[in-house]
Structure 1
Amino acid sequence: MTLARSILFNLAFFLWTVLLALVTWPALLLPRGATVAVYRFWSGGVAVLAAAIVGIRSRWIGLDQAPRGPVLYAAKHQSAWDTITMPGRLDEPAVVLKQELLRIPIYGGFVRRWGAIPVDRKAGASALRTMVADAKAAAAAGRSILIYPQGTRVAPGVSAPYQPGIAALYSQLGLPVVPVALNSGLYWGRRSFFKRAGTITVELLPAIPPGLDRREFLRRLEAATETATDRLVATAPTSAPPGSG
């Protein structure tokens, strides 16, 4: 059943995305609010398809605990599900993402109009300066910022370093940082065709206040995020391996 449901979901996901893009691309010519509405409608449709076809649902913990005003969300990243779902659930933050995503036809246009912060990972120090400047502009406009500190999707149980971007934003923006733990990779795997039934849990952790030195900040961020993520992975109901059933 896992194989059949995965085939059906991936086909439905592709058709839903393409058809909606073809119908709604004129929203790119309208004010930003129209783009945000389309993105929310698209991600909501993906959630409906995932629940109906595969049995993937989500549970959010601590959404009402985040500080008011702009914050810096530092989220664990295990799956494409995160990038599809998080922007809409976290009140439309400016998302730090790799520049290549802006080259995807129509999707890239929606992401740009959303007000994302693209990063050219080949540009080195200049990329950090541009990212910080864009994030400062977003925060000045009253928007939060969402960054995936490890810079890429990391499968459950796999270690990966936290990149310099999160430390640069923390030191330059002076915003509280909200660590975000999750276990999405158990059900919607990193670069995996297979999808498994289950409930993805996303947990917003207590905010880290601004003003710490770089080393202490990174220590607290990594310890909080990794400990909570390991707990969410370990306590999640077991499921069959991909391709079984």
Structure 2
Amino acid sequence: MLQWVRSILYIVQAIVAMPIIGLAFAPWAMFSKTGAYTACRSYARWCMWTARWLIGLRCEVRGDVPHGEVLIAAKHQSFLDIMMIFEALPRAKFIMKREILWMPVIGQYTKRMQMIAVNRGKRGKAIAQMLDDVNAGKVEPGQIVIYPQGTRVAPGKHVPYKVGTAVLYDQLAQPCIPVATNAGYFWPRRGLYRRPGVAVVEFLDPIEPGLNKEAFITQLQEQIETRSDALLVEAGWQQLA
């Protein structure tokens, strides 16, 4: 019962903190992408810091965090893994659903940081447009982050990997860094309860350019799913033990 109370208090303060931090950084963010990144990184750090002492949830980033121009293909289980990846990378460029642009505070900041909004009904066209923008220099260099399964996936649930990641890998000709996580065990997709423990985001060995699409997807899925399952077992997920 106490953890339930802590979880609800944590959620409330995180919701309240978002507009406060957003408004505090707004004057800087209006004139500088660095200001927008600093604001969002500050919010992520606030959420992770308060999670540690309020709900007993510690966030840990493992592996070699890339700093150059690479494609990041990440397991997505929770809003928490978004914040952890964003805070870790120097210049993350998330491929995200277009509806986020219309959200208060978050939407304005994602526009300022030139995140890549995708119309899920026209995903292929959106990826093609994104590639055109990158090649034309409209999107500043950074780490492009895509979720190969296209959405949040609950721990233990299997969703096939979509072809969009393979298209980006082939067209960009950049190394792809797979990312595993167990964040969904502690911070579920739905519900208010937040579990104490250690949430991990782990940057895995890069997949170098040159593989065909089928071989790439097979290797990517094996790396991400195998390591994410291992992290879930490490966290105490009994269904995979």
Normalised to the residue count of structure 1, the TM-score between the two structures is 0.90
Match of 1:149 in 2: 148
Question: Structure 1 pair 137/48, CA: closer, same or farther in 2 (3 Å)?
Answer: farther
Q: Distance in 2 between matches of 1:176 and 1:29?
A: 33
Q: Distance in 2 between matches of 1:138 and 1:72?
A: 16
Q: Distance in 1 between matches of 2:182 and 2:167?
A: 26
The 3-state SS of whatever aligns with 2:209 is coil
CA positional deviation for 1:100: 0.6
Match of 1:112 in 2: 111
Could you list the per-position Cα deviations for residues 122-142 of structure 1 after superposition, in whole angstroms to 9, with x for gaps in the alignment? Answer: 224322211332344579843
Amino acid at match of 1:40: R
Match of 1:14 in 2: 15
Match of 1:3 in 2: 4
Residue correspondence of structure 1 range 197-236 to structure 2 within 5 A:
197-236=196-235
Match of 1:242 in 2: none
| Superposition misfits of 4+ residues, deviation over 6 angstroms | none
Could you list the per-position Cα deviations for residues 178-215 of structure 1 after superposition, in whole angstroms to 9, with x for gaps in the alignment? Answer: 10001001101112211111101111111011011110
Match of 2:41 in 1: 40
Structure 2: gaps spanning 5 or more residues: none
State the identity %.
34
Q: Distance in 1 between matches of 2:38 and 2:208?
A: 32
Could you tell me whether the CA contact under 8 Å between 2:78 and 2:184 is conserved in 1? yes
The 3-state SS of whatever aligns with 1:97 is strand
Matched positions, count: 237
Could you tell me whether the CA contact under 8 Å between 1:102 and 1:108 is conserved in 2? yes
Structure 1: gaps spanning 5 or more residues: 240-245
Could you tell me whether the CA contact under 8 Å between 1:136 and 1:173 is conserved in 2? no
Answer yes or no: is 1:26 the counterpart of 2:27. yes
Could you tell me whether the CA contact under 8 Å between 2:61 and 2:84 is conserved in 1? no
Question: Structure 1 pair 10/134, CA: closer, same or farther in 2 (3 Å)?
Answer: same
Q: Distance in 1 between matches of 2:160 and 2:137?
A: 26
Amino acid at match of 1:205: L
Residue correspondence of structure 1 range 177-188 to structure 2 within 5 A:
177-188=176-187
Could you tell me whether the CA contact under 8 Å between 1:132 and 1:168 is conserved in 2? no
Amino acid at match of 1:193: L
Amino acid at match of 1:236: A
The 3-state SS of whatever aligns with 1:6 is helix
Could you tell me whether the CA contact under 8 Å between 2:149 and 2:161 is conserved in 1? yes
CA RMSD of aligned residues (A): 1.9
Question: Structure 1 pair 206/136, CA: closer, same or farther in 2 (3 Å)?
Answer: farther
Q: Distance in 1 between matches of 2:160 and 2:25?
A: 39
Could you list the per-position Cα deviations for residues 74-104 of structure 1 after superposition, in whole angstroms to 9, with x for gaps in the alignment? Answer: 0000001122221120222211111110111
Question: Structure 1 pair 138/97, CA: closer, same or farther in 2 (3 Å)?
Answer: farther
Could you list the per-position Cα deviations for residues 8-56 of structure 1 after superposition, in whole angstroms to 9, with x for gaps in the alignment? Answer: 1011111111222233333342111111111111111111111121111
Amino acid at match of 1:120: N
Match of 1:195 in 2: 194
Could you tell me whether the CA contact under 8 Å between 1:99 and 1:119 is conserved in 2? yes
Match of 1:243 in 2: none
Amino acid at match of 1:128: I
